[in-house]
Amino acid sequence: MKESFFRTMTWLHTWTGLLVCWLLMLIFFAGTLSYYRYEINLWMKPELHTNVLQQYQDLDLAQTLVQGQTYLADTAPGAKTWMLRLPTHRLPFVGYAWMDAPKEGERRGKFHEHIVTTEGEMISDVRATKGGHFFYRLHFDLHYLPVPLARYLVGFATMFMLLAIITGIVIHKRIFKDFFALRLKKGPRSWLDSHTLSSVLALPYHLMITYTGLITLMFMYMPSAMEATYDGNRKALQKEITPVSTPAKPSGTPGELVSLSTILPSVLEQAEGKPIRDIRIQNPLDANSQIQVVLRNDSRVADHEYQLLYQGTSGEFIGKVGDSPSSMGKAYDTMIGLHAGRFAEPTLRFALFLSGVLGCVMIASGTLLWSKKLRQKQQKQIDQGARPSLGLYITESLNLGVIAGLPIAAASYLWANRLLSADYAGRYDAEINLFFTGLGVTLLLAFLGRINWRGALLTGGLMWLGIPVLNALTSSENLITNIVKGQWFIAWIDLLALMVGGLMLLAASYCKRKIDNKVGNKHKTKVQDAPTTNSVKAAESAQAIKEHV
Amino acid sequence: MHTQSAISLTSMRQKHGHTFTVINRTLAALVGGYLATASCAALLALILPMSTADSTLLAMMLSFALWASLAIYAFAAKSGTRVWILLATLIAISLVGVGAAQ
């Protein structure tokens, strides 16, 4: 299309990246926060901050199961499903939960959960919040949009991302050398370096997360294969990949459930040392009830549930639902597992989180680089009093509004969680609306030219730094007591907030220095008129950028 | 004067030509590329020598790599016509294959 393959790929890289970068930024941002979905969840429910965290090893299994069964029989006799949730690395507490029978037109009934304290008391009154699940859903369902439309938009953006990554690799000649090159304070050169560095450093991650992202929704994006072989019937395909026995249908006659303690020895034997994640009881008070014991699988990457099935009234062992017999089924599970990272222990989780952050930096530095170059082209006219072109105005405003707006929005969401009264009826939606208010206001101010980078970063940084303080004031625990008690799961969000806030303030102070430097530089150029080594170098690097971008 | 207007005419034509090329290639990459990928995936799901469930999953999982390659080719190829010929051939072969295999 262009004169050379290289130029074509450069062109393609710029446009695939630029067209979707702000949507991608939102997707990456939400996805990165989703690594701490359950930590955010717990942080946003301060009612659960004291005497709730437990470890599986310290649990008296038989007692917990019997207590749970009795509690659910008293509290939710009419439920479709009971669930006894035991502590895992992602949900470190005991919960007794149930699901109502679905009402007409619903796929699933309403979910309720009461939490058990370490003292054996029940907590049933927890504030309504979407918690970390908001970011998880935002990552692929966006918000305010019909779900199918949102998912197609996200898929479209992801495909562009894949193209941008591949073309990015193609146009990158010195992948190893640039690994170590970060030339700071050199104008566009620095933006290019930070773009390259964030891209190359986490390249395997970027490729993996983009491709597996497409795989997670491939049944929606690429249904043709399934149309050809199964007439589009996903259930038929699913049945061949994972032969799960059909869930028990209620018979209509009441029946008595065995005590869970009687099947416990058999469960422990069949589980072969794997910890129990939760126990689900379908149609608990029916003659045809079924007990599903779900085992933990987080020592492996593949995202696949292991279950032991028992008949509910007799306690008879029905069978195991284990690995998929299909090798491609395993490959698929592994890709989903890689994307969701459910297996990741704290250190690996943090590494994944940092890679996600690098992804955000990659997108942000890419679009900033583009707008800097556009501004450079117009600088002469702008200096002479011309107004920036419409393209430049939109790009720069969107950059500021989205890049600084997203952390501001997330901080508003967390602040809303504590400032809205715990029993205010509309709080569930109000929290989410306040997220978008934070983003919307930043965007609006950016377009109106009423806020600059320094102001926005300063605001966001202070909001994030305030989060541990807010937590200390509105929770029964604070950062220090959480750490002293070893409740890292809750303390982590405060620590993360300090890191994010600190980084934003650092960036804000960098903006200030840059403004000072610019004033200083103008003086210098007046003094040194003759071309110096510096300006020769600058010309060289400008040339290098031209070749690159 | 005469030469000047001739030059501006060519540059205008070039500009329009560029717009056309971009739209043409983008359509080829997105629409044509998707259709070709979808039909190839359907064919692969039917003919790969493994169980139906396996071949279906594999075809779906590989499809995005194929689409990405086709999209890049759509921009990199010497002429837009070549791109469309390749895409049309892929679609035709796949659909005939799917018809025969089903």
Is residue B5, in this structure, part of any structural domain at all? Answer: no
- Can you read off the two tokens belonging to residue A358? 């690098």
With contacts defined as CB-CB under 8 Å, which chain B residues touch A230? Answer: 52, 56
With contacts defined as CB-CB under 8 Å, which chain B residues touch A217? Answer: none
A238 vs A152: which has the higher pLDDT? A152
Is residue B1, in this structure, part of any structural domain at all? Answer: no
Phi, psi (degrees; rounded to nearest 5) at A131: 55, -140
Evaluate if residue A375 carries a pLDDT over 60. yes
With contacts defined as CB-CB under 8 Å, which chain A residues touch B98? Answer: 228
Question: Does B64 sit within 8 Å of A214, measured CB to CB?
Answer: yes
> Which pLDDT belongs to residue A354?
95
Give Cβ neighbours of residue A225 (< 8 Å, ≥ 6 apart).
B41, B42, B44, B45, B56, B59, B60, B63
- One-letter amino acid at A424 equals Y
pLDDT tens, residue order, chain B (102 aa) = 444 444 555 555 566 678 899 999 999 999 999 999 999 999 999 999 999 999 999 999 999 999 999 999 999 998 899 999 999 999 999 999 999 987
Evaluate if residue A414 carries a pLDDT over 70. yes
With contacts defined as CB-CB under 8 Å, which chain B residues touch A335? Answer: 61
pTM of the model: 0.89
How does residue A6 score in pLDDT terms, banded at 50, 70 and 90?
confident
Closest to A35 in 3D by CA, of A502, A496, A501: A496
Closest to A308 in 3D by CA, of A263, A250, A251: A263
What is the residue-wise DSSP string for A367-396?
A: HHHHHHHHHHHHHHHHHTTPPPPHHHHHHH
What is the domain count for chain B?
1
- The arrangement of strands across the sheet holding A290-295 comes to A122-123, A111-116, A94-99, A81-85, A276-282, A290-295, A306-311, A317-321
Is residue B70, in this structure, part of any structural domain at all? Answer: yes
A206 vs A101: which has the higher pLDDT? A206
Give the relative orientation of helices A390-399 and A427-448 as an angle to the nearest 10 degrees. 140
A226 touches chain B (CB under 8 A): yes
| C-alpha distance from B88 to closest chain A C-alpha (Å) | 17
- Token pair 């942080």: residue: A43
CB pairs under 8 A between A and B: 104
Tell me which H or E stretch contains B74.
helix B52-76
> Which pLDDT belongs to residue A537?
44
Residue B63's domain comprises: 24-101
- Can you read off the two tokens belonging to residue B3? 């030469």
Is residue B34, in this structure, part of any structural domain at all? Answer: yes
A534 vs A96: which has the higher pLDDT? A96
Evaluate if residue A540 carries a pLDDT over 50. no
A218 touches chain B (CB under 8 A): yes
Distance between CA atoms of A544 and A189, rounded to whole angstroms? 9
Which residue in the set A5, A211, A229 is minimally distant from B56, CB to CB? A229
Is residue B95, in this structure, part of any structural domain at all? Answer: yes
With contacts defined as CB-CB under 8 Å, which chain A residues touch B61? Answer: 215, 218, 328, 331-332, 335
| Sign of the torsion formed by the C-alpha atoms of B75, B76, B78 and B81 | negative
Residue A449, CA distances (Å) to A246, A393, A444, A463, A479 in order: 60, 10, 8, 21, 38
Q: What is the largest CA-CA distance in chain B?
A: 73
Give Cβ neighbours of residue A462 (< 8 Å, ≥ 6 apart).
A501, A505
> Which pLDDT belongs to residue A176?
55
pLDDT tens-place string over residues A260-269? 999 999 999 9
Is residue B14, in this structure, part of any structural domain at all? Answer: no
How does residue A544 score in pLDDT terms, banded at 50, 70 and 90?
very low
Q: Residues A333-350: what's their mean pLDDT?
A: 92
Beta strands in A48-156 (DSSP E): 81-85, 94-99, 111-116, 122-123
- The 3-class secondary structure across A202-224, one letter per residue, is CHHHHHHHHHHHHHHCHHHHCCH
Percent of chain A with pLDDT over 90: 64
> Which pLDDT belongs to residue A244?
63
- Can you read off the two tokens belonging to residue A470? 């807010």
How does residue A386 score in pLDDT terms, banded at 50, 70 and 90?
confident
How does residue A395 score in pLDDT terms, banded at 50, 70 and 90?
very high
pLDDT tens-place string over residues A522-535? 554 444 443 444 44
pLDDT tens-place string over residues A302-336? 877 888 999 999 999 988 887 677 889 889 999 99
Give Cβ neighbours of residue A180 (< 8 Å, ≥ 6 apart).
none
pLDDT tens-place string over residues A190-248? 778 888 888 888 899 999 999 999 999 999 999 999 999 999 888 888 888 876 655 67
Query: Model ipTM?
Result: 0.88
Residue A359, CA distances (Å) to A24, A132, A199, B12 in order: 10, 20, 7, 40
Which residues in chain A (392-451) have CB-CB distances under 8 A to chain B?
none
| C-alpha distance from B32 to closest chain A C-alpha (Å) | 14
Residues for chain B: how many in total? 102
- Can you read off the two tokens belonging to residue B62? 């590989």
DSSP A404: I
Distance between CA atoms of A532 and A7, rounded to whole angstroms? 31
Beta strands in A220-357 (DSSP E): 276-282, 290-295, 306-311, 317-321
> Which pLDDT belongs to residue B3?
47
> Which pLDDT belongs to residue A170?
87
Evaluate if residue A93 carries a pLDDT over 90. yes
Question: Does B72 sit within 8 Å of A9, measured CB to CB?
Answer: yes
Question: Does A167 sit within 8 Å of B76, measured CB to CB?
Answer: no
B76 touches chain A (CB under 8 A): yes
- Token pair 């038929």: residue: A236
B63 touches chain A (CB under 8 A): yes
| C-alpha distance from B7 to closest chain A C-alpha (Å) | 20
Distance between CA atoms of A26 and A31, rounded to whole angstroms? 8
CB-count exposure of residue A112 (10 Å: 0-12, 13-18, 19+): middle
Is residue B41, in this structure, part of any structural domain at all? Answer: yes
How does residue A182 score in pLDDT terms, banded at 50, 70 and 90?
low
Which residue of chain A is at minimal alpha-carbon distance from B79? A1
pLDDT tens-place string over residues A22-81? 999 999 999 999 999 999 999 999 999 999 999 999 899 999 999 999 999 999 998 999
Is residue B56, in this structure, part of any structural domain at all? Answer: yes
Question: Does B64 sit within 8 Å of A215, measured CB to CB?
Answer: yes
Distance between CA atoms of A244 and A84, rounded to whole angstroms? 21
With contacts defined as CB-CB under 8 Å, which chain A residues touch B53? Answer: 237, 240-241, 326, 328-329
